[in-house]
Amino acid sequence: MTSANAKFRLSPELLSWPVTPGIVGAGSWFKLPIAALTRLERDKKTFVFRVWKAFVITFECAHKKPLSKIAPAKIFAGWLIKNASNPIYIAKQMKDLAFYYRVWAVTGKRPSAEPELPRSFKAWLRGHLSGPDQREQMSRIGRALPKANQQIINQALINHRHIVTSAPKAVNSSTANALRDFSKEWASANRPAQGVSWAPRENAASLDFTASQGGRLRELVRDARILLQEADYHAGTEEDLEIGRPSEIHDMVVVETALQRARSDTDYVLKVMAVPEKGFKARVLTIYPAYMLTPGDILLRQLMPAMKSEPWWDFDQVSDKEKFDRFVSRAVDRDGEIVSSDLSNATDYIPHEYAQAVWHGILDAWGAPEWIYDYVDRMLGPQKIRYPNGVEVTTKRGIQMGTPLSFPTLCLMHKYAVDTSGHRHSPHMIRGDDLVGIFGFPNSYFEVMKDIGFKINDSKTIISNLGGVFAEKGFVVTRDQRDQIAHCRILQDVPIGGLLNLETPKGGLLRAVGHWVSQLGLSQRGMRKIHNACRLSYRKSYKVALLKKLPLFTRLELGGCGWPDRSGKFVLPPVRSFRAIVGYACSHPSTAFTRAVTRLEGISTGFYDYYRNQSHEETTLSTSVYTFEVATSHHYQAARRAYMIREGGRDVMTVPPVSLSKYYATFSRCKKNAFRWIPKIETDQSRLVTRLKILNGEYVPYTPPTLNVDLFAKWEDV
């Protein structure tokens, strides 16, 4: 029997004390081990477990004090188990709960529409989340839900097919001309980048190769090898291929092959697939032949400098904090309502003619050759697509997710709606289908958006005087007596969705969590929350790491796992021999330590060693740059492509991640410092990382003999 003054902590394990015992009756299938369940029962149980875990970790980040009353939490656990047979219903209610607290956090008003959860649980939760930061944290539970199941994936494909095969409303030629004039005016004020890299940066899947098989780059190399067998191209490259030296002729063959096929090949059928995403939803993607994406990649890179210079456009994969802070500062002394727009299936509803008009205006301003117009029309026009069930259709509207042109098209059409509605000089930020702005006439903006084909998700769009949301980040404002914004504050929360739904960890689970932590850039106070969230999310791995005295709280660059400790800091492990190895690596030039860290990442060091052993004697220091991250340099990537061509398209191999029992053995060949020079546990790791990069970098040519492409100047007659 527990004391009346007892304090409790919720466990992330659903069937653990103090919540669940007593809720699940004796003999219930829910108490049976996973191995004794059918596949359907196993999926239901796993889903409910992950939803409960997402709730507990989100709640712990929002409310850090122990609990004296947990009966409502037990009722919620019982509700989850009772509805285990309907995961879609559970996910919908949890998403409604997330939006409920998001609206409450940014508007300061409790929404009237509530999720269909137990009443006592909702009241208990409201009592523990009293401030906007806590409510904003609870809104993160929507993205913390597990990835979609097959039912959601199938439904996403059905919805996509229904939308893209339905004819849009009548296309207005005057609207198309206005879009063309708008984009032409914008492009005339900017110039395209003169020479850009053609190679795909991401290892995405292509029509013939999965990402693990080499993806788009391998398909391009395979197509180009046919030309490399011809005497005209092979002459003068044999020696380069033997030593793996990057050569411009390698890239030229690949680019010419891709551009020729992109111009002439029209007989292809695209493959449609749905990818499960965190938040129990799926994203529909279209997979193109690699050669069809190459001109689009080049166009995007020539467009990118102009777009990145715009203060209203957030292009980065991770939201640009500086631009968002600038938007917040511009919001001061402004009147109007804060609009946080949400679109339904943003790219699927766009009429083909409007998307083509946007790019025709850009090409008009930049003097593009005729074949680029034809390429854009084919990429943004009707497409033949094949679904996983074998059904082939021709689209009547929509631009396909998977082409490099889709994101800038979406942003420019969004910008057109803002300017045309009379809010050109109002503070606003655009990130694809996300928009936040301070508008005097929100309805005029919504009307223009509908006119150009977008569908506004009215149930998720927020219009408020006191706050807004952009790219999953909330902010609140205070207004003066003139109803103008006097102060703006970004709400502090932790995006735990990425923690609970980690990508496939090539370098092991512990370091995968560390990579997620390294992207956050939080203060020490925020790192204390991160420590608690990581500990609760992966309790077994956490305990094993502590038991083996692994460098759990050491930064990734120093061979650690990158977790913050309980105080939110990074410290070296108590193992003296490992600290001696780190000390030597940070005080002597040596590649053994960096090679060991690369091995921890699950990446073979074979090509890395092969590259570093090449002779660059002909390259002077005046034409080189000193870098620690050699693998990200253009010269390294060019050498990798030459290596792939020589090896018949095979890419750099990955290796299994190092097991925890062999973690320290990975550094066995590294030299150690003497006892008196061993770094202390509390040593400032930022200084160690700086010294490591200074001592263990390499001079890499910054003008490699690789091909830079300008579609508007060099390739008219390709």
Q: What is the pTM of this model?
A: 0.87
**The pLDDT of residue 239:** 44
Compute the distance between CA of residue 465 and CA of residue 485 in angstroms, rounded to an integer: 9
Q: Which pLDDT does position 171 carry in this prediction?
A: 87
More confident: 609 or 666: 666
Neighbouring C-beta atoms of residue 409, cutoff 10 Å: 25
Q: Is 474 left (phi over 0), alpha (psi -120 to 50) or beta?
A: beta
Owner of token pair 């061509």? 645
pLDDT at 4 over 70: no
Nearest to 144 by CA among 471, 495, 541: 495
- Residues near 267 by beta carbon (within 8 Å), at least 6 away in sequence: none
Residue 244 has pLDDT above 50, yes or no: no
What per-residue confidence (pLDDT) applies to 243?
Answer: 42
DSSP codes joined into one string, 418-450: HHHTT-TTS-EEEETTEEEEEES-HHHHHHHHH
Question: Per-residue pLDDT averaged across 314-334, rounded?
Answer: 71
Q: Is the pLDDT of residue 330 over 60?
A: yes
Model confidence pLDDT, tens digit, residues 532-543: 999 999 999 999
The answer, yes or no, to whether residue 320 has pLDDT greater than 80, is no
Give the pLDDT band (50/70/90) at residue 238. very low
User: Looking at residue 600, what is its pLDDT?
Assistant: 87
Give the pLDDT confidence score for residue 237 in this predicted structure.
Answer: 44
pLDDT tens-digit readout, 488-536 = 888 989 899 989 988 766 668 899 999 999 988 888 888 999 999 999 9
User: 564 near 517, Cβ under 8 Å?
Assistant: yes
Residue 717 has pLDDT above 50, yes or no: no
CB atoms under 10 Å from CB of 260, counted, come to 14
Q: What is the pLDDT of residues 428-486, one digit of tens each?
A: 989 888 899 999 999 999 999 999 999 998 888 999 989 999 888 889 988 887 878 88
For range 652-664, the mean pLDDT: 77
- pLDDT beyond 60 at 644: yes
Per-residue pLDDT tens for 662-695? 899 999 889 998 777 889 999 999 999 999 988 8
Question: What distance in Å separates the CA atoms of residue 269 and residue 392, rounded to the nearest whole number?
Answer: 8
Tell me the mean pLDDT in the region 117-128.
94
Lowest-confidence pick of 263-267, 551-555, 584-588? 263-267
What's the average model confidence in pLDDT over 161-185?
92
| Beta carbons within 10 angstroms of residue 202's beta carbon | 10
> Tens of pLDDT along 378-395?
999 999 999 999 999 999
Mean per-residue pLDDT, 255-280: 88
pLDDT at 149: 92
3-class secondary structure, 489 = strand
Q: Which residue has the higher pLDDT, 112 or 707?
A: 112
pLDDT (average), residues 3-27: 69
pLDDT band at 52 (very low <50, low <70, confident <90, very high): very high
pLDDT-above-70 percentage for the chain: 83
Residue 289 has pLDDT above 50, yes or no: yes
At residue 20, the pLDDT reads 64
At 551, is the pLDDT very low, low, confident or very high (cuts 50, 70, 90)? very high
Q: What is the mean pLDDT of the chain?
A: 84
More confident position, 648 or 494: 494
- The residue ranking higher by pLDDT, 323 or 573, is 573
Structural domain spans, the chain: 12-146, 155-470
Instruction: Report residue 180 CA to chain centroid gap.
Output: 31
Within 13 Å and on the Cβ side, how many CA atoms surround 667?
Answer: 26
Compute the average pLDDT of residues 304-333. 75
| Structural contact between residues 338 and 477, judged by C-beta atoms closer than 8 angstroms | yes
Instruction: Tell me the pLDDT tens digit for each residue of 402-418.
Output: 788 998 999 999 999 99
The dihedral sign for the CA sequence 146, 149, 152, 156: positive
673, 677, 683, 688: CA torsion to nearest 10: -50
Q: How confident is the model over 91-97, as a mean pLDDT? A: 96
Q: What digits encode the pLDDT tens for the residues 25-50?
A: 544 666 666 776 777 888 888 999 99
